[in-house]
A and B are shown apart, each in its own frame.
Chain A
Amino acid sequence: MIPMEYYLIVSTIMMFVGIYGFFTRRNLLAMLISVELMLNSVDINFVVFNRFLFPGQLEGFFFTMFAIGISAAETAVAIAIIINIYRNVRNIQVKNLKNMKW
């Protein structure tokens, strides 16, 4: 069986890849995908902790289910807003969102 630490390494790498992507990507959809990566890495964490450390209970699994549902709802709203931006400025590059600064 694969030891728990390996899963945690994968999830932590995913988390920070997501953070890196969020800071460097210049397209709103790509930023959204990066954030989704962060949320999914958390799901791995919960499931792994539950399976390896506390196999008798289901709290982590439940949390994962709710986190997946919530992130779907958030993504729906985010995409609606991005579509709205596309309708207004015909583009979803971050550099167009510069009306308000400082």
Chain B
Amino acid sequence: MDFSQIFTYMYAEIALIAVIVTVFLYDLISGKRGRRFFHPVMCVLMTAFIAATIVPYHDGTGETFGGMFVYTPVFNILKGILAVGTLIVFLQADSWLRRDDTEFKRGEFYVLTLSTLLGMYFMISAGHFLMFFLGMELASVPMACLVAFDKYKNNSAEAGAKYILSALFASGLMLFGISFFYGTCGTLYFNDMTAHIDGSPLQIMAMVFFFSGLGFKISLVPFHLWTADTYQGAPTSVTSYLSVISKGAAAFALMVILMKVFAPMVHDWQLMLWIVIVLSITVANLFALRQKDLKRFLAFSSISQAGYIMLAVISGSAIGMTSLIFYILVYMAANLAAFGVIGTVEQNSGGKVGMDDYNGFYRTNPKLAVVMMLALFSLAGIPPFAGFFSKFFIFAAAFEQGFHILVFIALINTVISLYYYLLVVKAMFINRNDSPIAAFRSDCSTRIGLLVCLAGVLVLGIVSSVYDCINMFSFGM
């Protein structure tokens, strides 16, 4: 076996493993005094990592480990986006990690988060179902530890139990599906499987099992029941990581598998996705209307956003792939901004996350209120902001493939979603409150994180070169 190939194609993964080992060793030997500089060290490391890996380091596609690991430039773009999102989460998590009860666990937080990121990297560039499964589990097992990170809080433990049990159940279902694919195809390499896939009833059943396993990860509607509880109970920084990075990676991996492996069964999975999309968007919107807790509210909003992401998957075209990555990028900016505001308010106000607590928020903290408003506008898809363009591209991709009714239903749901996003804006700007959240100054690192997200919300849609750049690479897929 030629080992030089491993370094050519797995460069990003190896760099990430190096970062993980460095962080682990730093946590081990730095001691109490060195740990004070952990946050700057971590940010520098992550920035260096992103700078070294975000530009596709190799033209064209390639395989290593006998086809288990696949490299294409478009995978690399998505991995870079996920790494940037992780850096933003780290920036926003700093004030939470400074608390006495989490200070000594800072290193664990970084190592666990980066391990899940590594798992997602492997999941995205898998070329074999075993690799895919290992990546998915590497992404979800440390995630359960992160969800239960606030060990003395009841809610966090409850959320962790709900997450790990549903994740186990989901991987059981997924493996059951994969086992029947093995029985009918005789191989689990993505490239070789396509020739054996003929849409027999057994394979359709296997695909449904496989899809339900992955649907748990993306939290689509029949499989979404863990989402709201886990999002509410988990620490806010973990929730933002879970809602954006993990969801985006799983959605992209699903699209790659559906397009690459299940291409002969395209009508079957399009029908299945059609039903799931309509359910996800509608049910999640209806539930989001009645939420009083902002984290829970954003959980339902993220379920409906997952439905929109699936609109890009159902198109199954190169344009769909581009708009999927663009949507993940824009969604990341908007959602991380919203969770960043919620997180910093929670830290500085003694744990207030209810929607009523935000009444009169604009009078005391005008800047944060404006950031939150812009993020929610982007999530809802109001024109000058990035969210409008990402939604537009996704609808265009699905419409082009002939899903007219589906796009129509999604459009109606955008209007419904506008209502509940504006409820929060109304609470912040119009509702009166005798004892609003007191004015506070968030720390420097949170502000940098919020500024990056805000720049993303404002700029990404207008600067079309971002979309063109992704588009250029995704046609090489």
Residues of A within 8 A of B (CB): 15, 18-19, 22, 28, 31-32, 35, 38-39, 41-42, 45-46, 49-50, 53-54, 57, 59-60, 62-63, 66-67, 70-71, 73-74, 77-78, 80-82, 84-85, 88-89, 97, 99-102
B171–A39 CB distance below 8 A? yes
Bound: A60/B171 CA distance, A: 17
Distance A25 CA – B290 CA, assembled complex (angstroms): 30
In angstroms, Cα B241 to Cα A57, docked, is 40
A-B contact count (CB 8 A): 121
With A81-B144, A100-B155, A100-B229 as given contacts, are A28 and B161 in contact (CB-CB < 8 Å)? yes
- Closest Cβ of chain B to A84, distance in Å, is 5
Contact status A45-B172, CB under 8 Å: no
Asked if residues B169 and A35 are in contact (CB atoms below 8 Å), the reply is: yes
- Cα separation A48 to B177 with both chains bound (whole Å): 15
CB–CB B165/A32 < 8 A: yes
Q: Indicate if the CB atoms of B183 and A63 lie closer than 8 Å.
A: no
> Would B160 and A60 count as touching, CB distance under 8 A?
no
Q: How many B residues touch A, CB cutoff 8 Å?
A: 43
Beyond the given A49-B183, A97-B162, could you list 20 further A-B residue pairs with CB under 8 A, ordered by the A residue number? A22-B169, A35-B165, A39-B168, A42-B172, A42-B178, A45-B176, A45-B183, A46-B179, A53-B186, A70-B141, A73-B137, A74-B137, A82-B161, A85-B157, A85-B161, A88-B152, A88-B157, A97-B158, A97-B161, A99-B155
Contacts A/B (CB < 8 Å), 25 sampled? A28-B161, A32-B168, A38-B172, A38-B176, A42-B172, A42-B175, A45-B179, A46-B179, A50-B182, A57-B186, A62-B130, A66-B134, A67-B175, A71-B168, A73-B141, A78-B161, A81-B164, A82-B161, A84-B160, A97-B158, A97-B162, A99-B155, A99-B158, A100-B159, A100-B296
User: Could you say which residues of chain B place their CB within 8 Å of the CB of A62?
Assistant: 130
- List, in ascending order, chain A residues with CB within 8 A of B148's CB: 81, 84
A49 to B165, CA, bound (A): 28
Of B161, B167, B186, the most chain A CB neighbours within 10 A belong to B161
B179/A100 in contact, CB under 8 A:
no
For the complex, what is the distance from the CA of A36 to the CA of B173, rounded to whole Å?
Answer: 12
B280 at the interface (CB under 8 A from A): no
Residues of chain A lying within 8 A (CB to CB) of residue B165: 22, 28, 31-32, 35, 78
Q: How far is the CA of A42 from the CA of B144 in the complex (A)?
A: 23
- B164 lies within 8 A of A100 (CB): no
Interface residues of B (CB under 8 A from A): 129-130, 133-134, 137, 141, 144-145, 148, 151-152, 154-155, 157-162, 164-165, 167-169, 171-173, 175-176, 178-180, 182-183, 186-188, 228-229, 232-233, 287, 296
> Given contacts A63-B130, A66-B134, are A84 and B172 in contact (CB under 8 A)?
no
By secondary structure, the B interface counts as helix
Q: Is there contact, CB below 8 Å, between A35 and B155?
A: no
Bound complex: CA A96 to CA B42 (Å) = 38
Residue of B nearest to A49 (CB): B183
- Chain B's nearest CB lies how many Å from the CB of A52? 9
Residues of B within 8 A of A19 (CB): 169
Chain A residues with CB under 8 A of B133:
63, 66-67, 70
In the assembled complex, the Cα of A22 lies from the Cα of B168 at a distance in Å of: 11
Q: How far is the CB of A57 from chain B (nearest CB, A)?
A: 8
**A39 and B157 form a contact (CB under 8 A):** no
With both beta carbons as reference points, the residue of chain A lying nearest to B161 in the complex is identified as: A81
Give Cα A74–Cα B161 distance, bound, in whole angstroms.
Answer: 12
Chain A residue with the shortest CB-CB distance to B179: A45
* Contact between A45 and B180, CB atoms less than 8 A apart: yes
- 4 closest A-B pairs by beta carbon, nearest first, are A38-B172, A45-B179, A49-B183, A42-B175
